[in-house]
Amino acid sequence: MKWSTIFLASLLATAAVAVEPSEMLKDPALEARAREVSKHLRCVQCQNETIDESNAEIARDMRLLVRERITAGDSNDAIMAYMTSRYGDYVRLQPRFMPVTYLLWFGPAVVLLLGAWAASRRMGRRYKEPSALSAEEQSALAAADDRQEGGRA
């Protein structure tokens, strides 16, 4: 077997979800909703994995809680609000747009703009036109030019 095939198979194996068949809802529409909500919830133990991707026990509990809320008739927004109230804003993979999170939303753009401004100022200084010569410098330059032309003849 080729190494590339083994490598590809190992990559695909890591992309598998941790949802166990016993956790899945029998109704495919409700299960699809559970997966949709789960895509936006972070495992509080694994940090950068969704609850569907994580094998942690807390992620399993969170998946079951989402499915329990769906079967109780809660909307997706109500489930997100419930999970946020229970686990805090950190549980959301995408932070809410509010004054506390403005730095998260606008920080990268501000850093990029400051970097572009600093680079343009630095490049502008490097390629500035030379300043005009004073009368004294012009006469010294003319004298040096005359001397150089006198030496060539």
Q: Distance between CA atoms of 107 and 129, rounded to whole angstroms?
A: 35
pLDDT at 124 > cutoff 50: yes
Please tell me the predicted confidence (pLDDT) of residue 15: 45
Single out the residue of 49, 53, 56, 36 nearest to residue 91, CA to CA: 49
Between the CA of residue 125 and those of 51, 66, 116, what are the distances in Å?
Answer: 52, 58, 14
Count of Cβ atoms closer than 10 Å to residue 50 Cβ: 20
Instruction: Count other C-beta atoms under 10 Å from residue 70's C-beta.
Output: 22
- In order of start, what are the domains of the chain with their CATH numbers? 3-94 (1.10.8.640), 100-152 (no CATH)
Q: Are 45 and 59 in contact (CB under 8 A)?
A: yes
Distance CA 80, CA 89 (A): 10
Rounded to an integer, the average pLDDT of 69-76 is: 93
pLDDT score for 1:
57
Mean model confidence pLDDT for the chain: 83
Least confident of 9-18, 25-34, 58-67, 139-148: 9-18
- Rounded alpha-carbon distances, angstroms, from residue 39 to 6, 63, 140, 143, 150: 28, 11, 75, 78, 83
Which range is least confidently modeled, 10-14, 56-60, 105-109, 128-132?
A: 10-14
- Residue 105: what pLDDT? 83
